[in-house]
């Protein structure tokens, strides 16, 4: 009898939970005869889901963190020079200079960045990242687990966290094949590739082209086009509620049609409360003209600020907040983790609203699956929170260049045109949403509900090889 193949699903942080723990990904693998073990570096306990898990104990070395920061800076500088495009400099986060420690760290990062220009310098930084982690106890801990468990494949759910370097380097040193999933559609131009693996699982041919463009040392056969499992729950009929049940649970008015205002975090959109205020004013205007509309406000899951309270109080007759069901298990943003219940909440919010309004969100694809329109906010508000911020900064990002045409969304270019555009979007036909569908097909290989199956197929091919 052939021994079962074993896979370690590496969760270096919580963002992979939604794609790989809360979908049918594990069930599909087990059906194929795999022993699936979560290599869990998050504070989230997977045992209530009856998943096999091994908790990872340890943290990255301080030197590794500085090298990671330098690699990102050097990579963005390299992209800027190579592609002669200033957009790459806008991806840099402002550094903190609050104390002597910060000043010393920033000085080290700047020095490392300057000393490692171009492809050759970046290759040296990649080697230094692995070499740094090999000197730490976290690496030894990972290596000991791998020597004991002997998995056939390590699948990393996210290419961004430095916490994934030690486990993946230990696997490399033990000749265990590895792969990583590129977590989001906007990640590659932002220099978020912190790990190195044998294979890279990407959403589409478009993302594969991006991967090879930004990382020419990666060979085409290492990039595997599978799609993202994040869209699979939209097709799971067991997660859906009836309109009556959803409205009753959230105290909504059955006589109304609702639109969803999907919030961003404060860094992405500091003017969100003002935008929500403008949308509410426009809904009031439409209702005075005979419409019967309401707004469901879904805030960004990692935004626990009180910045919306004034607007929500003022428009309490028109806005119903429905908070995401994420779990806060620590103080940092990456310890605010998704839950399976929130998957159902998000899907039912989409099903039972007629359109979504936001700034530059990938919710355009979620609503597009259900043949529903998205409206993108694209104007300066009157009382700006941050005078230097503009929505155009976000729309200039590289991933928006994938849009087949401006007709993929409805653009709200001023407060004055919201009512008219909203009315038009709510009467949109399938033909009006054709460009939205083209965009989604470009971004994520279709059919979207088969991503997990495609990932497993590629993993099986790798292990057989």
pLDDT tens digit sequence for 327-380? 877 666 566 788 899 999 999 999 999 999 999 999 999 999 999 999 999 999
pLDDT tens digit sequence for 77-132? 999 999 999 999 999 988 877 888 889 999 999 999 999 999 999 999 999 999 99
Please report the pLDDT score of residue 174 as a whole number: 98
- Evaluate if pTM is beyond 0.85: yes
- Residues with Cβ within 8 Å of 36's Cβ and at least 6 positions away in sequence, in order, are 7, 9, 26, 29, 30, 51, 52
**CA gap 305, 421 in Å, rounded:** 30
Please report the pLDDT score of residue 138 as a whole number: 98
**Structure-token pair, residue 320:** 């119903």
Across the range 56-66, mean pLDDT stands at 96
The answer to whether the beta carbons of residues 81 and 119 sit under 8 Å apart is no
**Structure-token pair, residue 430:** 């399938």
pLDDT tens digit sequence for 36-56? 999 999 988 898 999 999 999
- Among the listed ranges 13-17, 65-69, 291-295, 367-371, which one has the minimum average pLDDT value? 13-17
**CA gap 300, 358 in Å, rounded:** 11
**CA gap 457, 119 in Å, rounded:** 33
The answer to whether the beta carbons of residues 418 and 278 sit under 8 Å apart is yes
The answer to whether the beta carbons of residues 78 and 117 sit under 8 Å apart is yes
* Residue 357 DSSP symbol: E
**CA gap 29, 24 in Å, rounded:** 9
**CA gap 37, 8 in Å, rounded:** 5
Please report the pLDDT score of residue 465 as a whole number: 66
Across the range 60-82, mean pLDDT stands at 98
Across the range 194-215, mean pLDDT stands at 98
All structural domains of the chain with their residue ranges: 5-60+136-228+448-464, 62-126, 233-443
pLDDT tens digit sequence for 219-247? 999 999 999 999 999 999 999 999 999 99
- Contacts of 61-67 with CB under 8 Å at 24 or more apart are 61/132, 61/133, 61/135, 61/136, 61/138, 63/132, 64/129, 64/132, 64/133, 64/136, 64/162, 64/165, 65/162, 66/105, 66/108, 66/109, 66/112, 67/112, 67/125, 67/128, 67/129, 67/132
Top CATH class of 5-60+136-228+448-464 equals alpha beta
What's the chain's average pLDDT? 95
153 class by beta-carbon count within 10 Å (0-12 exposed, 13-18 middle, 19+ buried): buried
* Residue 3 DSSP symbol: P
In the predicted model, is pLDDT for residue 261 greater than 80? yes
pLDDT tens digit sequence for 284-302? 999 999 999 999 999 999 8
Please report the pLDDT score of residue 330 as a whole number: 66
**Structure-token pair, residue 393:** 């900064």
The answer to whether the beta carbons of residues 234 and 213 sit under 8 Å apart is no
Please report the pLDDT score of residue 129 as a whole number: 98
- Residues with Cβ within 8 Å of 9's Cβ and at least 6 positions away in sequence, in order, are 16, 20, 26, 36, 37, 38, 39, 155, 157
CATH architecture of 233-443: 3-Layer(aba) Sandwich (3.40)
**DSSP string covering 24-76:** SHHHHHHHTTEEEEEEE-SS---GGGT-EEEE------HHHHHHHHHHHHHHH
pLDDT tens digit sequence for 405-447? 999 999 999 999 999 999 999 999 999 999 999 999 999 999 9
Whole-angstrom Cα Rg for the chain: 23
Q: In the structure, what pLDDT confidence band is assigned to residue 1 with cuts at 50, 70 and 90? A: very low
Biggest alpha carbon–alpha carbon distance for the chain:
73
Question: Would the CATH topology of 5-60+136-228+448-464 be identical to that of 233-443?
Answer: yes
Across the range 156-172, mean pLDDT stands at 98
- Contacts of 138-141 with CB under 8 Å at 24 or more apart are 138/57, 138/58, 138/59, 138/60, 138/61, 138/166, 139/166, 139/169, 139/170, 141/56, 141/57, 141/58, 141/166
- Among the listed ranges 62-71, 152-161, 191-200, 331-340, which one has the minimum average pLDDT value? 331-340
CA atoms within 13 Å, Cβ hemisphere of 57: 4
Across the range 178-185, mean pLDDT stands at 98
**Structure-token pair, residue 406:** 């401006």
């Amino acid at each position: 009898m052939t021994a079962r193949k074993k896979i370690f699903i590496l969760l270096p942080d919580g963002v992979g939970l939604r794609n790989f723990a809360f979908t049918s990904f594990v069930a599909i693998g087990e059906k194929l005869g795999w022993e699936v073990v979560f290599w869990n570096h998050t504070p989230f306990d997977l045992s209530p889901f009856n998943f096999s898990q091994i908790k990872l104990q340890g943290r990255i070395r301080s030197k590794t963190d500085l090298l990671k920061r330098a690699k990102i800076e050097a990579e963005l500088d390299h992209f800027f020079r190579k592609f002669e495009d200033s957009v790459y400099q806008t991806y840099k986060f402002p550094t903190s200079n609050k104390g002597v420690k910060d000043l010393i760290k920033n000085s080290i990062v700047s020095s490392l960045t300057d000393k490692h220009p171009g492809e050759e310098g970046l290759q040296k930084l990649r080697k230094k990242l692995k070499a740094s982690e090999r000197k730490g106890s976290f690496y030894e801990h990972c290596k000991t687990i791998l020597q004991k468990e002997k998995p056939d494949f390590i699948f990393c759910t996210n290419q961004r966290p430095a916490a994934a370097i030690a486990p993946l380097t230990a696997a490399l040193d033990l000749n265990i094949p590895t792969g990583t999933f590129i977590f989001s559609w906007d990640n590659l131009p932002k220099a978020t590739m912190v790990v190195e693996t044998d294979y890279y699982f990407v959403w589409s041919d478009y993302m594969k082209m991006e991967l090879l463009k930004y990382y020419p040392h990666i060979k085409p056969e290492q990039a595997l086009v599978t799609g993202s499992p994040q869209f699979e729950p939209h097709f799971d009929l067991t997660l859906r509620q009836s309109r009556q049940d959803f409205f009753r649970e959230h105290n909504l008015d059955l006589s109304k049609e609702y639109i969803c205002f999907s919030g961003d975090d404060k860094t992405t959109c500091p003017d969100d409360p003002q935008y929500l205020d403008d949308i509410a004013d426009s809904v009031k205007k439409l209702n005075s003209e005979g419409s019967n509309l309401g707004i469901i406000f879904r805030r960004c899951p990692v935004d626990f600020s009180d910045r919306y309270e004034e607007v929500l109080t003022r428009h309490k007759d028109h806005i119903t907040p429905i908070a995401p069901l994420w779990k806060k298990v620590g103080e940092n943003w990456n310890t605010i983790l998704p839950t399976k219940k929130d998957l159902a909440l998000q899907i039912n919010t989409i099903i039972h609203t007629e359109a979504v309004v936001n700034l530059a969100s990938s919710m355009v694809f979620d609503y597009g699956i259900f043949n529903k329109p998205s409206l993108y906010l694209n104007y300066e508000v009157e009382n700006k929170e941050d005078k230097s911020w503009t929505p155009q900064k976000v729309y200039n990002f590289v991933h928006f260049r994938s849009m087949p045409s401006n007709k993929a969304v409805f653009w709200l270019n001023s407060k004055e045109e919201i009512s008219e555009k909203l009315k038009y979007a709510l009467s949109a036909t399938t033909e009006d949403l054709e460009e939205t569908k083209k965009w989604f097909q470009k971004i994520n290989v279709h059919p979207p509900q088969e991503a997990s199956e495609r990932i497993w197929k590629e993993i099986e091919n790798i292990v057989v090889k």
